[in-house]
Amino acid sequence: MPAAMLRGPASEETMSVSGRYETEAEAAQSADRQTLSLAGLAVTIGVLVICVFLVRQLAQTARIEDCLMANRLNCDKVAAAAH
């Protein structure tokens, strides 16, 4: 077989330099997909940090309220120990 037949047709949609994408549009689409994935990861981490902060604050408030509801007089130690 001639070498030209083994290589396939010569067109703009042949493999890029990296050999991964066939067109520039596919490369751009992949970059957009990666950007959206990173943005989603950043939002998820942000929500997780906020949730951890809220859980810690609610737990501290619950300890102080439990102390006050038990009619204890030294609830300031409970509040100070949480910090």
Tens digits of per-residue pLDDT, 65-79?
Answer: 999 999 988 888 877
pTM: 0.59
Q: What are phi and psi of 62, to 5 degrees?
A: -65, -40
What's the number of domains the chain is made of? 1
Query: pLDDT of 10-37, one tens digit each?
Result: 444 444 445 676 788 888 888 888 999 9
> Domain for residue 67, yes or no?
yes
Residue 31 belongs to a domain: yes
Q: CB neighbours of 23 closer than 8 A, spacing ≥ 6? A: 12, 13, 16
Residue 58 domain-assigned? yes
In a domain, 64, yes or no: yes
Range of the domain at 65: 20-82
Task: Establish if 44 belongs to a structural domain.
Answer: yes
**Single-letter amino acid code for the residue at 20:** R
